[in-house]
Amino acid sequence: MTKLCILNVVGLTQKLLRHAPNLAAMGNHRPWTSPVPAVTCTSQATMLTGLAPRDHGVVGNGWLYRDTQEIRFWQQARTLVEGDVFYDRYETAKMFWWFNQSTTAEYGATPKPHYGCDGSKVFDILDWS
């Protein structure tokens, strides 16, 4: 079976990778050109699908819900990403990526903060196997 490990490390350049020789020696690596806008949700949806933002539909970190005129940030539902994701064809552990809610990955963990009505934010994690 072919093994694949994708590490999403924001800001890791070829120059910085030289300072992590054990990581660099793990296999083939190549730089990735981020989409525009180069924000978390858009970039991760592009990595997961191989599609441009206009095709997978994630064009920012927030969504405007026209019916309530609310902008909701950091939505986690897999259903927000249009198109097939590469991990549907593999046994996958999808750790700390966005769009993990209702994912088909067999194993996972994702940050899931809770927002209080008073504006507070409490960090939490959803996980499954």
Asked, for residue 2, whether it belongs to a domain, the answer is no
User: Regarding beta strands 107-111 and 121-122, do their DSSP bridges make them parallel or antiparallel, or are they unpaired?
Assistant: unpaired
57-90 per-position pLDDT tens digit: 999 999 999 999 999 888 889 999 999 998 888 8
Instruction: Tell me the pTM.
Output: 0.81
Q: What's the confidence (pLDDT) of residue 1?
A: 62
Asked, for residue 9, whether it belongs to a domain, the answer is no
Asked, for residue 25, whether it belongs to a domain, the answer is yes
Q: Which domain holds residue 68?
A: 14-128
Asked, for residue 110, whether it belongs to a domain, the answer is yes
Q: How many domains does the chain have?
A: 1
**Is residue 98 classed exposed, middle or buried when 0-12, 13-18 and 19+ CB atoms within 10 A define those classes?**
buried
Asked, for residue 7, whether it belongs to a domain, the answer is no
- How far lies 104's CA from each of 10, 30, 72, 96, 128, in Å? 24, 27, 24, 14, 11
102-119 per-position pLDDT tens digit: 888 889 998 888 888 898
- How far lies 23's CA from each of 4, 32, 48, 76, 95, in Å? 14, 16, 21, 29, 18
10-43 per-position pLDDT tens digit: 888 888 888 988 888 887 777 788 899 889 999 9
